[in-house]
Amino acid sequence: MFGIFSKKDRCLGVDLGTTGIKIVELKKENNLPVFINYAISGGAGTLLQSNELELLDGQAKDMLGQVLVAGNFGTKNTVLGIPGFLSLIFFVEFPEMPETEIQKAVKFEATKYIPTPIEEVSLGWEIIGNIQEKSVEGGQMAAQSRKMQIMVVSVPKSTTEKYSQLMKATKLDINAMEVENFATARALIGNDKGTFMIVNMGSKATDFTLVSDGVVRVTRNIGAGGQEITRSIMTGMGVDYERAESLKKADRVNLLDNRNEITGMIRPSIGMILEEIKRLQEVYHKKSPLKKIEKVFFTGGASKMKTLVDYFAKETGMDCQMGNSLARIGVEKKYIDVLDSISPELTVAIGLAMRGLDSK
Ligand SMILES: Nc1ncnc2c1ncn2[C@@H]1O[C@H](COP(=O)(O)OP(=O)(O)OP(=O)(O)O)[C@@H](O)[C@H]1O
Ligand SMILES: [Mg+2]
């Protein structure tokens, strides 16, 4: 019961992605999270879910059950990811007030941001900073007031309920649910100070997360990712989905070469992501002119495309690189080689599992 490997020191990160379910098990050893097991469903190009409804029906339950059996994990303690596109994250400023009042104020303020009735969403909030505001009248300082900056996360109750049912049906113990953006920030940035952007290119969607001084400041999500890139190749080359997938993953892709056959076909999908990076940089620069985005970290399976990161670096003039989701955890020797190629797909699951260990 008091053994070093007590099961409470383990956590599963469960990422229900569009292309598959990804589960990572971390164990705390000498206070460091260590990667000890994982399981992924589906082969290349298999689309398990194409939208929220499919994801949450019986198919998801069966699929998750199978992945859990395959993984044979040592704990049921689970942190579950909520896709960025199912959440709404916004920021508000309040005058200083006691915590008991904040809940009420958040609820009131949320009605301005959330299109659905407030009773239909689960709201979470966190104080992310304080600012001193000075008002000046006629050249004289009129007043000084302290304001609190608060981040609010809203998720439809229908989503959290369905996810809870899924957890119950698969007999997992839910430690927390977390929107994916926070998981990627934990895995790729941790407590590093400075200002960074994360671009998580998945199958169906790409998530953008701006983190400054260890706090998530802006998030965005667009419906373009690996699946759309594959479809562009399908149409352009007149081949089937499988063939297009393998062409996309091949070494022949070269986004830096305009004469490359595939480059022209996939530029529009990649262009949407490029435009969003530029837009986010502009928006953030206007809001916080003194904070320069130091690095853009790419993650997610679709970011593994050859020359992609170099292409974004060239087009944005920013310091772009692949994020390293293993930088803040230890890895059991037998997984080092396989993680070399699949760690970008596991970033969300790793970040989720880290949270489950953090809170102990
Ligand atoms: N080497 C590669 N080159 C290019 N694309 C790749 C490569 N390996 C995987 N992909 C693409 O990555 C995508 C899957 O990535 P990931 O597992 O991060 O998505 P997901 O989490 O299932 O999707 P979402 O986050 O949108 O729900 C697929 O579109 C796949 O084709
Ligand atoms: Mg994903």
**How high is the pLDDT of residue 112?**
92
In a 3-state reduction of DSSP, which class is residue 173? strand
Contacts of 223 (CB under 8 A, 6+ apart): 85, 204, 205
**How high is the pLDDT of residue 63?**
87
In CATH, the number for domain 88-155 is 3.30.1490.300
CB atoms within 10 A of CB 187: 31
- Expressed in angstroms and rounded, the spacing between residue 224 Cα and the centre of ligand 1 is 11
- Residues composing the chain: 360
**Residue 206 pLDDT > 70, yes or no?**
yes
Q: Indicate the burial class of 148 (C-beta count within 10 angstroms; 0-12, 13-18, 19 or more).
A: middle
**Residue 331 pLDDT > 70, yes or no?**
yes
Q: Indicate the burial class of 133 (C-beta count within 10 angstroms; 0-12, 13-18, 19 or more).
A: exposed
Ligand 1, residue 206: give the atom nearest the CA: 26
**Residue 142 pLDDT > 90, yes or no?**
no
Q: Which listed ligand is nearest to 348 at the C-alpha?
A: 2
In Å, how far are 75, 209, 352, 359 from 186, measured between CA atoms? 21, 11, 8, 13
Q: Which residues line ligand 1 (CB under 6 A)?
A: 17-20, 83, 202-205, 225-227, 230, 245, 248-249, 300-302, 304-305, 345
- Expressed in angstroms and rounded, the spacing between residue 203 Cα and the centre of ligand 1 is 5
Q: Which listed ligand is nearest to 17 at the C-alpha?
A: 1
And the tokens for 257? 């070469």
| Radius of gyration of the CA atoms of the chain, in A | 21
- Expressed in angstroms and rounded, the spacing between residue 172 Cα and the centre of ligand 1 is 26
Which stretch of 32-46, 66-80, 99-113, 343-357 has the lowest confidence by average pLDDT?
Answer: 32-46
Residue of 221, 345, 348, 350 best suited for mutating to test ligand 1, as the one with most atoms within 8 Å of CB = 345
* Residues 40-53, mean pLDDT to the nearest whole number: 54
8 A C-beta contact, residue 172 and residue 194: no
Q: Which listed ligand is nearest to 302 at the C-alpha?
A: 1
Domain ranges across the chain = 88-155, 191-323
Hey, what amino acid is at 216? V
Q: What is the mean pLDDT of the chain?
A: 90
Tell me the C-alpha distance between 89 and 218, whole Å.
8
**How high is the pLDDT of residue 136?**
67
**How high is the pLDDT of residue 153?**
95
CB hemisphere CA count around 345 (13 angstroms):
24
Alpha helices in the chain (DSSP H): 52-56, 58-71, 99-113, 157-169, 180-188, 226-237, 241-249, 261-287, 308-316, 336-358
8 A C-beta contact, residue 113 and residue 90: yes
Highest CATH level, class, for 191-323: alpha beta
Give 60 or 295, the one with higher predicted confidence.
295
Tell me the C-alpha distance between 71 and 65, whole Å.
10
